[in-house]
Amino acid sequence: MGMITLMTSGYDAALARLPDAYATAIRLADAGLTADEVAATLGVEPESLPPLLELAHRKLRRELTRPQEKRRSLN
Q: Is the pLDDT of residue 75 over 70?
A: no
Residue 16: partners with Cβ closer than 8 Å, 6 or more residues away: 23
Q: Where are the domains of the chain?
A: 9-65
Look at domain 9-65 and name its CATH class.
mainly alpha
Instruction: Give pLDDT tens digits for 16-65.
Output: 999 999 999 999 999 999 999 999 999 999 999 999 999 999 999 999 99
DSSP conformational letter for 43:
T
Helices vs strands, H then E, count in the chain: 4, 0
Q: What is residue 8's predicted lDDT score, i.e. its pLDDT? A: 67
Q: How far apart are CA 48 and CA 41, in angstroms?
A: 13
HSE of 43, CA atoms in CB hemisphere, 13 A = 2
